[in-house]
Chains A and B, each alone.
Chain A
Amino acid sequence: MSYSEREQLKPSQMVALVDDNPQIREIYQLELEQAGFYCLVTESLAGLYDLINENNIDLILLDNFLKNESGIAAIPEIKKRAKNSRIIVLTRSSSPDNVVRAIKNGAYDFIGKNTSAKDVVSKLRKYPFPITTSEVNPTDPFANIGLLGKSRAMHDLSEDIIKIAKHDIDVIIVGETGTGKELIAKAIHRLSGKRSQIPMLTVNCAALTPALLESELFGSRKGAFTDAKEDRKGIFEAADGSTLFLDEIGELPLPLQGKLLRAIQEKEILPVGSTKPIKINARIVAATNRNLKREIAEGRFREDLYYRLSVVTLYTCPLRERTDDIEELADFFLNLMTSRYQSKHLQLTKSQLKVLKRYHWPGNVRELKNVIERSVLMSDKDLALRMDSQASEDKQINSEEMPLNYANYKVNCERTYLKKLMDVSKGNLAEASRISGLHRPSIYRMLKRLKN
């Protein structure tokens, strides 16, 4: 898997593997890590209980035939100790009796061990796991949201999520990149009652070409285009009874915006190459980091779609505006990374925390996570904080020189960032897009805007 493929993965899940064969443990651990999971391994149930005590485990891969122990028989005990973890049984004996017993005992899935570690891991990557698999806690709704931070902004956002989640209305989440828009969508889905029983589906509107996006979203009929050899269900149909998360909706091409509006308003879609509409029942949660009002003014976004979607708008707060949460977030990522890389326990010093709090975090929480991951990877004895070059440059900005008008400050930052990006990518937009995670048209627009 390449760097860019790995970058497109969902936020990593913590996986614990229980298998008594050391060779199997070793290859699974490597394959899981390469696929972007955090992986802990152990040979026994006792070892698993220790791991559960020390970590928040999302997923447990459990071999059924352990030395003198049965994985399936232990599932109820594991569920008691790790209420929020999902258990997947791996076994070579996939007799119907075993499958039924495993599922009855509370296993989430059962994978016959007639396939290689690589294939099992690719199957896991397709599971629709949320970042925390917590079941809904009826007594403490805040515990179900899965967002870190106790700042006023996060508290208000959590309250809004709780209020709107249970009502079957479409929602749009607006906020800068890296502020956790997908996490919020997952929280809404998790708290949405009946819909939460079916996994939420996610589509990144910027990741596909318009033609592909149309057939992915609305499906296609046989013969609709050269490669359409059979009828294909679209994501709207697949999300029936569940939630459909449309990420980066601001990137949706205009012609598709019309089709989306019809899907939202009429609750029906027209597959590519079909004249017969299909009724749909999916709740739409959309997200964007763009200013949609400006996009409307510039003719890139349909006003009617905006007003249809923005009945409920949730705003995610940039990290620089909730510095009170930085310590909690940094500690959380530090624990994750030290466990992931099996490094010794590392701690942030007061001065390091000060640096983190002073930085303006253009990449928000995602950037903080990357800084912590990089720092853990490159630290020996004590934690050496490795901010990226942008952060180091910003540290040198004299506070007196810093423009206090926010718009000017943002333009300055964007200019510095783009200059650096263009230097590193040697002016190649495709390379710049790959490094930054921004889409080529977005970079082009930023360059044009800053030039003007």
Chain B
Amino acid sequence: MLPCDHSLGTSKQQVLERLMQCLEKKIKEVQQRFYDNIPENFEKIRSAIVNKDRALLKSLCHDFSGSTITFGYKNMAKIAKQMEEQAFTSTDLELKNHVERMNILYAQKKG
């Protein structure tokens, strides 16, 4: 159910305007929640690198690149996609560097 209360106005315009506001607010909340969870994703990716679980790493990078592009973080998505493609061929150091590059992009975005 949409996050609308029942104190809506009575005209069609009021209802739709309120609906638009509700959706806009909700979109911002979801975007913020996604953004706040990005470091958690970095941690999971780092831990897969450390544990040499390349299959898991590939799957995490696949999911991460899909969601970052959907939320509009194009550069971060590109790096994640690259990591997904090179999950079995890159060295640990190369992969860790990729994570650091994403971390810098994240910090810049936050700043």
Residues of A participating in the B interface, judged by any CB pair closer than 8 Å: 1-3, 6-7, 21, 23-24, 26-28, 30-31, 33-34, 65, 92, 113-118, 341-343, 370, 373-374, 377-378, 380, 386, 388-389, 424, 435
Contacts and interface: CB of A to CB of B under 8 A. Distances in A.
Contacts, number: 89
A53 to B, nearest CB: 22
B23 A116 contact: no
A117 B70 contact: yes
A34 B19 CA distance: 9
B15 interface: yes
Give the 10 A-B CB pairs with smallest separation, nearest first: A116-B72, A34-B23, A3-B17, A30-B27, A117-B70, A24-B70, A370-B12, A3-B16, A23-B67, A374-B15
A33 B13 CA distance: 17
B69 A114 contact: yes
Interface in B1-43: 1-2, 4, 6, 8, 10-13, 15-17, 19-20, 23-24, 26-27, 30-31, 34
Given A34-B27, A116-B71, A386 B65 contact: no
A120 B5 CA distance: 30
Given A1-B20, A34-B27, A374-B15, A28 B4 contact: no
Contact of B24 (A34, A370, A373, A380): A34
Contacts of B63: 21
Given A1-B20, A377-B8, A341 B2 contact: yes
A341 B1 contact: yes
A28 B66 contact: no
Interface size class of B (residues with CB under 8 A): 20 to 34
Contacts of B62: 65, 92
Given A6-B16, A377-B19, A386 B70 contact: no
B54 interface: no
A40 B27 CA distance: 16
Nearest to A371: B12
Nearest to A28: B70
Contacts of A424: 11
The prevalent SS among residues of B at the interface is helix
Q: Which of A3, A28, A388 has the most chain B CB atoms inside 10 A of its CB?
A: A3
B66 A24 contact: yes
Interface of B: 1-2, 4, 6, 8, 10-13, 15-17, 19-20, 23-24, 26-27, 30-31, 34, 62-63, 65-67, 69-72, 74, 77, 81
B12 to A, nearest CB: 5
B81 to A, nearest CB: 7
A80 B31 CA distance: 36
Given A21-B63, A116-B72, A92 B20 contact: no
Contacts of B72: 116-118
B22 to A, nearest CB: 10
Nearest to A424: B11
B34 A27 contact: yes
Nearest to A367: B12
Given A3-B17, A34-B24, A23 B34 contact: yes
Given A34-B27, A378-B8, A3 B20 contact: yes
A21 B13 contact: no
Nearest to B84: A92
A27 B16 CA distance: 20
A96 to B, nearest CB: 17
A31 B70 CA distance: 11
